Amino acid sequence: MCGIVGYIGTQQAAPLILEGLTRLEHRGYDSAGVAVLGGSKESALRVAKKAGRVRDLTDDLPKRFSGKVGIGHTRWATHGPANDVNAHPHTDTKGDVAVVHNGIIDNASTLRAQLAEDGIDLTSDTDTEVLAHLIARSTAETLEARVAEALSAVDGTYGLAVVHADFPDRIVVARNGSPLLIGVGEKEMLVASDLAALIRHTTMVAHLEDGEIATLTAGGFTTYRADLTSTHRTATEVDVDPATYEAGEHESFMHKEMLEQPDAAERVLRGRLDERFGTAHLGGLPMDARETRAIKRVKILGCGSAYYVGQMGASLIEELARIPADAEAASEFRYRNPVIEPDTLYVAVSQSGETIDTLLAVQEIHRKGGRCIGLVNVVGSAIARECEGGIYLHAGPEVAVASTKALTNMFLGFALLALQLGRVRDLSISDGKRLIAALLELPEQIGQVLEREEEIGEIAQVLADAESLFFVGRVRGFPVAREGAQKFKEISYRHAEAYQTSELKHGPLALISGDVPSVAIVPQDELTDRNVGALHEIAARGGPLVVITHPDVDLGEIECRRLDVPRSERELDPILLTIPLQLLAYRAALHLGHDIDKPRNLAKSVTVE
């Protein structure tokens, strides 16, 4: 959630760090800061930090802020309000040590009390400040040893970077539950919590594992375990075009990423469809036909939009493979002491592959002997490395907080998984071929929906003026409604709730009025008549209606704003019904003048519980 950038080399550190922090703004933050090591001991460590945006920090940075070693941070508040004092980096009393930190120190209160008893005056409300004081108090001979000693007293999660005035030739970094990547340049090294901050400078990257510490110097890096024995980690080339991290001609990354969905959909399907046998080939799944047939249940784990698309995926798996399947919020999973069954296939879903709740759920499954595969977008991410196998989404970098193209590719990943599971079991070859034909048409159909942005935008302006909305759908349509409500609330800041259409008469109808619009998902399927009947109930109570439906659905005389989407096979309809909801949320937020890529209080990669 927070952003870390560090640099050591031959260039001035501050401009590079500030540029990197700007590229991490999508991760969510409320303050920013930077620390640099200069040339003389008297002014070796200089710190500047400020509540607000990176540009506010840049505007206030002292004119003379030189140094070729530095660390920077964008903070998303967990301990204490957003202000200049709580912003990172944090230093010790003498100002010799500076620390930036992502994560949460669970025993921070105990450590703060111990430091206060020893006469140390803590100036911030944060958990991070204790790290700076612990490192400063250590008498170990090396900075690596001082950091390791401090971390041995810490319970919790962290991705951190440390500079010290007495060790001006290095940055020491460490990871436990919060991502850190090391970038290897020419006579320079970088560290960041997200590839976006590195990609303009290097494509040679090493991922730190949990429990590792690393030393960065201008000439290279060394990695260690907690006991400082070497782990010999090496960097590898990442195949990413830096231009994908640019919005280009688009007014926001969300708009760019929505329009990229047809191409992204083609990528996730490419090479994975076997039209001859009506099946999918997923080389990342470590299961033969015998192991596949032994699966008795599928459990999908994700957070936010990944959870809702997991519900769509569970429906696909039950329909096509006839295996009981359900989705659960990963953030709740391990806290209910779940029963882990050896014949259950667990699926972890995450765009970033670093979502801490989902990662901890995967670790709980493994702790109890279960098997878990991943659906992730980021190659080499923590969840991808933790799982036995999985499906890479190939959506390309997604910068906007509100997920669009990654969500679409998650759905298609589930469709491929369901198709492969189904064909090993009882799905006929004709049904397999029917679904493959529909999958191949989806990219073009998604493009057809996106071409109607202006029409959808007119409806969005009407919805934006409402203070509260309902999104309703049944069976396949209910997860679509949940995702629609999620998108609308997170970027328009309007209250939006999702309900099963069948549940309206069991409570929510009491809130229907002329001031509360309903967005209804009404596909052409076995429940069309019942869905239309519910629309009559809403209309009879004066509730404004927007209906996302198919061209051949007869809505009768119901007064509504109607949006038709192309029909696919009924199992695949949910993703086409989801696309206009993305556009509705986007255009509503645009109408309201919100910062679409950086919705308040939210972050792209949630790396703290």
Helices (H), 270-404: 289-293, 305-321, 330-333, 356-367, 382-386
3-state DSSP assignment of residue 481: helix
| Residue 377: φ, ψ to 5° | -100, -25
Q: 89 preceded by cis ω (within 30°)?
A: yes
Residue 607 dihedral angles phi and psi, to the nearest 5°: -110, 15
Find how far residue 491's CA is from the centre of its chain.
15
In DSSP notation, 112-136 reads: HHHHHHTT----SS-STHHHHHHHH
Phi first, then psi, for residue 585 (nearest 5°) are: -65, -45
**Residue 560 among the catalytic residues:** no
Neighbours of 426 (CB within 10 A): 11
Read off the DSSP letter of residue 193. S
- The catalytically annotated residue of 49, 487, 598, 604 is 604
Enumerate residues 6+ apart whose C-beta is below 8 A from 460: 583, 584, 585, 586, 587, 588, 590, 591
CA atoms within 13 A on the CB side of 52: 10
Q: Which residues contact 221 (CB under 8 A, 6 or more apart)?
A: 182, 184, 189, 206, 214, 215
| Token reading at 56 | 């506010």
**Inter-axis angle of helices 261-269 and 429-450, nearest 10:** 160
**What amino acid occupies position 63?**
K
Question: Is the Cβ–Cβ distance between 354 and 382 less than 8 Å?
Answer: yes
Active site residue 604: yes
Are the CB atoms for 192 and 181 separated by under 8 Å?
yes
Burial (CB count <10 Å: 0-12, 13-18, 19+), residue 196? buried
Q: What one-character-per-residue DSSP string does 361-375 give?
A: HHHHHHHTT-EEEEE
SS3 state at 586:
helix
Distance of alpha carbon 12 from alpha carbon 397, whole angstroms: 28
- Please identify which of the residues 2, 372, 387, 560 carries the catalytic annotation: 2
CA–CA separation, 297 and 174 (whole Å): 38
Q: Which of 302, 344, 348, 338 is nearest to 323 (CA)?
A: 344
Report d(CA 163, CA 35) in Å as an integer.
8
DSSP 8-state symbol, 470: E
Torsion, Cα of 464, 447, 604, 364 (10° steps): 120
The secondary structure of 53-104 as a DSSP string is -HHHHHHHS-S----SEEEEEEE--SSS-SSTTTSSPEE-TTS-EEEEEES-
Strand partners, 248: none
Question: Among all residues, which ones are annotated catalytic?
Answer: 2, 604
